[in-house]
Amino acid sequence: MVKTFGATKALRGVDFVLNRGEVRGLVGENGSGKSTMTSIIAGFQKCDSGEMFLEGKPYAPANVREARDSKVAMIVQEIGTIGGIGIAENMFLGEIQNFSRGSIVEKKKLHEEAKKAFEKIGVTTIDTSRPTTSINLEDRKLLEVASAMRCDPDILIVDETTTALSQNGREIIYGLMKKQVAENKSVIFISHDLDEIIEVCDNLTVLRDGVMIGDLSKPEFEKNKIQNMMVGREIKGDYYRADYDGSHGDRVVMKVEHLYGLHTLRDVNLELHEGEILGIGGLSECGMHELGRAMFGVDIMVSGQITVNGRKISKTHQAAAAGIGYVSKNRDTESLMLQAGIGFNITIPSLEKISSFGIISKAREKQYTQQQIDALSIKCEGGQQKTRALSGGNKQKVAFAKWLGKGSQILVFDCPTRGVDVGVKAAMYRLIEDLKKNGHAIVLISEELQELIGMSDRIIIMKNGRIEGEHLRSSDLSEHDLIREMI
Amino acid sequence: MADTGMKSGTEKKELVRMWLPVMGLVAVIAIFGIWSGGRIFMGDNITTIINQAFTTMMVASGLAMIYAQGGMDFSPGGVIALCSLTGVAVANATGSIVLVLPMCIITGIGCYAVTGIITVGLNMNPYIGTVSMMFLTRGIVNSVFNVRSFSSINLGIANNIWFRFACLIVIVFICWILFNRTKIGRASQAYGENQQAAAQTGMPLKKYRLIAYMFGGAIVGIATFFYLARVGNVSTSSGMNEEMNVITAMALGGMAMGGGVRTAIRCGVIGSLIISLLVNGLVVCGIAVEWTHGVRGLIFLVVVAISFVRDKGVKFLPR
């Protein structure tokens, strides 16, 4: 199977076999072709050459509905529902005519069917008559799951769905996957979380640069081995920081005092020092993301203050001027302008650096952009290339480059390695370590406890908007200690 | 450039977006050139075409940053009328034309500062601010004409076609610099592209956006000065329909109506030339002037329809 996007070959001759009654994991770095392959199987797009067989018969779905008629359904990585319409309407998108008498839609029947679909996957708490925007992202994901499961798929494709879900939602998906297997049906499971893959999959296919690298069966699963296959080189043992030296400069660079937010933050106090990596962890709704936004002046605060060198920060331009850089956890919607060129994104906070008398110099802009691309080894065709064409990891590097190029001394990274493959992840960790050595102060907000323990000089655990505990860097610190404070 | 790789669907679409308006311009020139037997290229007629495109081109260039922010402006016609009024009034009162240009510019900046404060400061839909400004300015002009009248003025050199032409090029170039090579232009494009991401660039967005509005006002003021030079006096129909001319020109020129990084100065320039050539070509070819209004309406409809197809998923009307 071959698929090309412009000059990028996403898939080059992949052979893939899925057997009945198995959960097959699909792993690979960002841009290795996982989503491309599965979306072809599910009828979202077509391949340029190659063929597919379903139960021995040639199979080439022209669109998603044809795929669903053949009992192949996919839950996509991105948001696949439309915000402005009702929940039930979303579920039966494209088949509303089945619920119509003449041109009138039978709402009651629609809601009943939607409810049934939810019950089928064991969800009873969602009111199908509400507008889709009124439910949270997790429930929207479940809506997609319910919608996909309606066709009783023989092949269910789960593309990084679990990362968006809490434990509860994950259990629902795991349950469905088990049921598929019990009914002698199949699942293709994509995830970046190797522990999860190892736990739920029977077999594993590794992709790299659009080529199949190998198949592994359950007894052969071993984290290091899989990682090596994914990146094609040895990943060294010191994935995180190797040292346990939590020392840093004495100078306080940022002070948060009695901060109360509109949503969750309650009386947060903390100090950030020069050369310190401050990890902030907790459950997703604990207020840590809001705290990160507050540090860059994105959200309005009710009371309290954040100061940098005595200057108060309440607007984003004050934050940027005070030397703060911020990479949002929603990289694609908040940190980057995907339609714009890489150069546009990288230079926009630092335009005065490449301007004389307020006019941007094209030559200096080009040079500056290339410097940043080289410094972070961003894989791209050049500064003019559209940012949306990059893989997740490289997009994240662009978001980093914005602030590193500007020379921001305080860097707030909210989930910097989310949806980033192991290769780029390791590079990010080295980068964060180097930044620390150069005296930058770093706030690392993360939902991955391993990452916090592995990288931080000091970890703050938040719960319900308050600081619940504080831990200094140590080799004894375990995830267990942190989880206890989180819940 | 050796480009052997295949272009993806979106890249192709972008190329179409860039070149379609240019092809449209070439097509219009070719069609009317042949139909009129070359008469549209006669010396005098070229002057007429430039004069007809003049105001729309200058105003569209000045307002490009507002369009880049995702705004749409319904007020330039009204603002031109008010600027004409203040310009002529100051000339009548002082008996000299020295203060006409400054007066037009100040009035333009004032009007757009108000629109800007309503839109940017109060965070309202740009539609509201500009439509109110349209009614406000028209209202003022009409009320003043109820109580007094003005005598014609002669703005001398501003009537010389070469001088006008040179000024037009300079102004469009200044607009281009501001749009592409300054923080204000970049901030406007970023804001139209993605408001949240723009906020997280750490730029003082409100300030830059407001400056973009006021700059637009200054250019409308300058355009009014040249308009006055040609028309010679102010009336209640001064600047009539200019807002529609500008919007049509933008759409014809391929402006992304939702704003963002795919907006460009060239859109208004190409679009205004197309309109001017079309209307002029029809007249030269013997079609009655009254019909040209109908043609304009038709073009507007077709262009909007095409923009819709090109911008699938992007709303035509401003946010």
Same domain flag for A300 and A192: no
Q: Across residues B263-284, what is the average pLDDT?
A: 91
Q: Which CATH number fits domain B43-309: 1.10.3470, 1.10.10, 3.30.43, 2.60.40?
A: 1.10.3470
Q: Do B261 and A339 touch (CB under 8 A)?
A: yes
Residue A185 gets the label, from left (phi > 0), alpha (psi -120 to 50) or beta, of beta
Interface contact B177-A321, CB threshold 8 A: no
> What confidence category does residue A343 fall into, taking pLDDT thresholds of 50, 70 and 90?
very high
Nearest CA in chain B to A315: B202
Model confidence at B11: pLDDT above 90: no
% of chain B residues with pLDDT over 90: 61
Segment of A27-41, A80-94, A350-364, A380-394 carrying the highest mean pLDDT: A350-364
Query: Residue written as tokens 């949270």?
Result: A136
Which of B201, B207, B311 is most worth mutating to test chain A (most A CB atoms within 10 A of its CB)? B201
Three-class secondary structure of residue B241 per DSSP: coil
Same domain, A270 and A199: no
Is there a single domain that holds both residue A392 and residue A458? yes
CB A32 within 8 A of CB A160: no
Q: Which of B219, B237, B243, B224 is nearest to B300 (CA)?
A: B243
Tokens of A36: 């491309």
| pLDDT value, residue A357 | 92
Residues 6+ apart with CB under 8 A from A256: A268, A269, A270, A271, A291, A294, A295, A304, A305, A306
**What angle is formed at CA B228 by the lines to CA B274 and CA B234, rounded to 5 degrees?**
115
Judge if A8 and A136 occupy the same domain.
yes
Say yes or no: A422 and A302 in one domain. Answer: yes
Residue A163 pLDDT level (bands cut at 50, 70, 90): low
Q: Which residues of B touch A362 (CB under 8 A)?
A: 181
Using a CB–CB cutoff of 8 Å, tell me whether A317 touches chain B. Answer: yes
Pair type for strands A324-327 and A410-414: parallel
* A303/A411 same-domain check: yes
Instruction: Report whether A209 contacts A32 (CB < 8 A).
Output: yes
CATH number reported for the structural domain that contains residue A390 in this entry: 3.40.50.300
Which residue in A has a C-alpha nearest to residue B261's C-alpha?
A340
Q: Report the number of distinct structural domains present in chain A.
A: 2
Residue A149 lies in a domain: yes
pLDDT given for residue B121 in this prediction: 93
Residue A31 CA to residue A44 CA, distance in Å, equals 17
Neighbours of B280 (CB within 10 A): 22
Q: Does the pLDDT of residue B185 top 90, yes or no? A: yes
Q: Are B266 and B253 in contact (CB under 8 A)?
A: yes
Chain centre distance of CA A289: 14
Task: Based on the fold, state whether residues A29 and A165 are members of the same structural domain.
Answer: yes
Structure tokens at A272: 């950030």
- Residue with tokens 């410097």, as numbered in its chain: A371
State pLDDT tens for residues A175-231: 888 888 888 888 989 887 788 888 888 888 888 877 888 888 888 888 778 877 877
Please count the other Cβ atoms lying within 10 Å of the Cβ belonging to residue B173. Answer: 12
Quote the CA–CA distance of B134 and B118 in Å, as a whole number: 13
Tokens of A394: 């490289």
Which residues 278-307 in chain A show a CB within 8 A of chain B?
296, 298
Is A333's CB within 8 Å of B196's CB? yes
Give mean pLDDT, residues B15-29.
85
Highest mean pLDDT among A464-478, B178-192, B270-284: B178-192
Cβ <8 Å between B196 and A334: yes
> Which SS3 state, helix, strand or coil, does residue A462 take?
strand
Q: Which two tokens stand for residue B13?
A: 């679409």
pLDDT per position as a tens digit, A285-299: 889 999 999 999 999
In A, residues 89-148, which contact B (CB 8 Å cutoff)? none
Looking at residue A12, what is its pLDDT? 73
CA distance A325 to chain B (A): 9
User: A-chain residues within 8 Å CB-CB of B198?
Assistant: 337
Q: Give me the pLDDT at residue A1, please.
A: 52
Residues 167-196 of B with CB under 8 A from A: 177, 180-183, 186, 189-190, 193-194, 196
Whether residue A6 and residue B7 make contact (CB cut-off 8 A), yes or no, is yes
Cβ contact B198–A320 (<8 Å): no
- Is A358 close to B182, i.e. CB distance below 8 A? yes
What is the tens place of the pLDDT at every residue in A305-332? 999 988 999 999 999 999 999 999 988 8
Does a structural domain hold residue A247? no
What's the gap between Cα A16 and its chain centre? 26
Beta-carbon contacts of residue B287 (< 8 Å; ≥ 6 apart): none
> CA of A336 to nearest chain B CA: how many angstroms apart?
6
Interface membership of A326 toward B (CB under 8 Å) = yes
Query: pLDDT band for position A258 (50/70/90)?
Result: very high
DSSP symbol at A155: E
Helices and strands, number each (H, E), in chain B: 12, 0
| Whether B199 and A316 lie within 8 Å, measured CB to CB | yes
- Looking at the structure, do residues A285 and A419 belong to the same domain, yes or no? yes
pLDDT at residue B107 in the model? 98
Q: Which stretches of A274-393 are assigned E, i.e. beta strand?
A: 277-282, 301-308, 311-312, 324-327, 355-356, 359-360
Cα separation, A87 vs A126, in Å, equals 9
A347-403 pLDDT, tens digit per residue, is 999 999 999 999 999 999 999 999 999 999 998 899 999 998 888 889 999 999 999
Structural tokens at position A171: 């259990």
Please tell me which of the candidates A315, A337, A355 has its beta carbon nearest to residue B194: A337
Q: Do A235 and A444 meet the contact criterion of CB atoms below 8 Å apart?
A: no
**Does B224 score more than 90 pLDDT?**
yes
Select from A139, A137, A181, A122 the least CA-distant residue to A156: A181
How many Å is the Cα radius of gyration of chain A? 24
A81 and A127 part of one domain:
yes
3-state secondary structure of A204: strand
C-alpha dist (Å) from residue A401 to A144, A342, B177: 35, 10, 26
Per the model's pLDDT, the better-predicted residue between A81 and B62 turns out to be B62
**Interacting residues of A193 by C-beta distance below 8 A, sequence separation 6+:** A162, A163
Domain span including residue A323: 252-486
Q: Which residue has the higher pLDDT, B80 or A239?
A: B80
CA distance B27 to chain A (A): 30
| Least CB–CB distance from B190: residue in A315, A337, A362 | A337
Is A206 found in the same domain as A257? no
Query: Is A298 inside a domain boundary?
Result: yes
Q: Is B198 touching A (CB cutoff 8 A)?
A: yes
Distance from CA of B165 to the nearest CA of A (A): 25
CA distances from A287 to A19, A244, A344 (A): 44, 28, 32
With CB atoms and an 8 Å threshold, state whether B197 touches A335: yes
Of A317, A333, A339, the CB nearest to B262: A339
pLDDT at B307: 63
ipTM of the modeled complex = 0.87
**A340, A335, A354, A398: which is closest to A372 by C-alpha?**
A398
Q: What pLDDT shows up at residue B10?
A: 66
Q: How confident is the model at residue B5 (pLDDT cuts 50, 70, 90)?
A: very low
- pLDDT reading at A26 higher than 80: yes
Q: Which residue has the higher pLDDT, A408 or A98?
A: A408
* Inter-chain Cβ pairs, chain A and chain B, closer than 8 A: 87
> What are the chain A neighbours of B202 within 8 Å (beta carbons)?
296, 316-317, 319-321, 324, 349
- Which of B18-38 are b and which e, b meaning 16 or more Cβ less than 10 Å from the residue's Cβ? eeebeebbeebbeebeeebee
Share of chain A above pLDDT 70, in %: 94
A378/A303 same-domain check: yes
Measured between CA atoms, the residue of chain A closest to residue B176 is A359
Nearest to A320 among B181, B183, B202 (CB): B202
Cα→Cα distances B43→B39, B224, B270, Å: 9, 25, 21
Q: What's the rounded mean pLDDT across residues B218-232?
A: 95
At A405-435, the pLDDT tens digits run 999 999 999 999 887 877 888 889 999 999 9
Q: Can you spell out the DSSP letters for B9-77?
A: HHHHHHHHHHHHHHHHHHHHHHHHHHHTTTGGGSHHHHHHHHHHHHHHHHHHHHHHHHHHTT-----HH
Q: What is the mean pLDDT of residues A335-343?
A: 93
Average pLDDT, chain A: 85
From chain B, pick out residues whose CB is under 8 angstroms from the CB of A341.
Answer: 261
d(CA A4, CA A10): 5
Q: Which residues of B touch A339 (CB under 8 A)?
A: 193, 260-262
Select from B237, B278, B294 the least CA-distant residue to B52: B278
Measured CA to CA in angstroms, residue A124 lies from A79, A119, A146, A305 at distances of: 21, 6, 11, 43
pLDDT of residue A49: 78
pLDDT category at A232 given cuts 50, 70, 90 is: low
| Residue A72 and residue A215 in one domain | yes
Cβ separation of A5 and B8 shorter than 8 Å?
Answer: yes
User: Taking the CB of residue B159, how many other CB atoms lie within 10 A of it?
Assistant: 14
Q: Which of A27-31, A482-486, B151-155 has the highest mean pLDDT?
A: B151-155
In angstroms, the separation between the Cα of residue B74 and the nearest Cα of chain A is 27
Chain-chain contact of B202 with A328 (C-beta, under 8 angstroms): no
Longest dimension (CA), chain B: 70
